[in-house]
Amino acid sequence: MINVSHNISSTSPSKSSFDLKSIMAHEMGHVVGLDDETKLKYGDSVMYESLSTNEIRYNLSKDDENGYHAISW
């Protein structure tokens, strides 16, 4: 479920809107078992705990890849 009380863009985010693809990439990370990344040094991680408006972050970082490979299937 997406909280539509926030301004979300499915095309390109702006100073006042969030990027839908970045949100969905993050939420899909939770679906496969990844937790939020809270360390600032991993701020480029899809799984970083916050996303700013006008920010695009859906390409997996090394931290995301390491987390994925650490999951026991």
Q: Which of 7, 28, 32, 36 binds Zn ion (CB under 5 A)?
A: 36
Question: Where does this chain touch Zn ion (CB under 5 A) — which range of 1-9, 17-25, 36-44, 62-70?
Answer: 36-44
Helix then strand count (H, E) for the chain reads 2, 2
55 binds Zn ion (CB under 5 A): no
In the complex, least distance from residue 28 CB atom to Zn ion, rounded to whole angstroms: 11
Distance CA 65, CA 12 (A): 25
Q: Do the beta carbons of residue 64 and residue 46 sit within 8 Å?
A: yes
Determine, following the binding rule CB under 5 A, whether residue 65 of this chain makes contact with Zn ion: no
Q: How far from chain centre, in Å, is Cα 69? A: 17
Asked if 35 interacts with Zn ion (CB under 5 A), we say: no
Positions touching Zn ion (CB under 5 A) are 36
